[in-house]
Structure 1
Amino acid sequence: MSLLSFLFKGQALPDQVQILDREDYKMAISKGKVQLVDVRTRGEFMSGHIKGASNIDFFQGSAFRAAFSKLKKDKPLYIYCQSGNRSQKAARMLVDMGFQEVYDLRGGYRIWTY
């Protein structure tokens, strides 16, 4: 095992998760009603978010899982956070919960607003 594979063990995302750059993400969510979720805190969400997004705070544990359990697991799900770190962790959890297609915004909300 190489040093790099040791350091990044477990970092690969499941096949059900795709990371989209800003333009591809924007195009995908503009095609109609989609499941779009901001996984940042309520305060972060209130300071600015992508139009049409719901807010489900990643740090809310069981409330996070309960809120996502109400969404359709067989429909594409678009998520984002501030930088992409939380949303990638969330994506892994969502795949474990049965979501089949999860799309994450590369670089998070901070690149959305530049």
Structure 2
Amino acid sequence: MKKFCLFLVGIIAFFVLLANIGPLLGLAVSLVVTYYAVKEFMRTDSTGTKILWGIIAFIAISFSIANVPAILAVVAAYILYVVYKNWNKTKEHKEDIIDADDPFTNFERQWNSLNK
């Protein structure tokens, strides 16, 4: 049942990621353009060039805001990662966990090693 639920969540996350791949790419491009425009804005000394880079940065930030649904794609990619990590994880049984502070458990383990 756990594998089926993980599979179902993984399929849903995959389709959400696939549906939002366009906004994700748009967000990535607009963030790169914004970074480059701000970097050039800080580097230049000319007032006209600063205005030009400021306008470019403003337009790129506007495109970034328009691509906010890309956050769903990032969340879906993270969910796919978690599903992938938990796919083959085994359930720990109480018998497998050995308490190192329990003297009786340590005695039983040492007694079994002596009897071998």
Both proteins in one fold, TM over 0.5: no
Pairwise TM-score range, normalised by the shorter structure: under 0.3
Higher share in strand: 1
In our comparison, the structure showing a higher alpha carbon Rg is 2
Alignment TM-score, normalising by the size of structure 2: 0.22
Of Structure 1 and Structure 2, which has the larger fraction of its residues in helix?
2
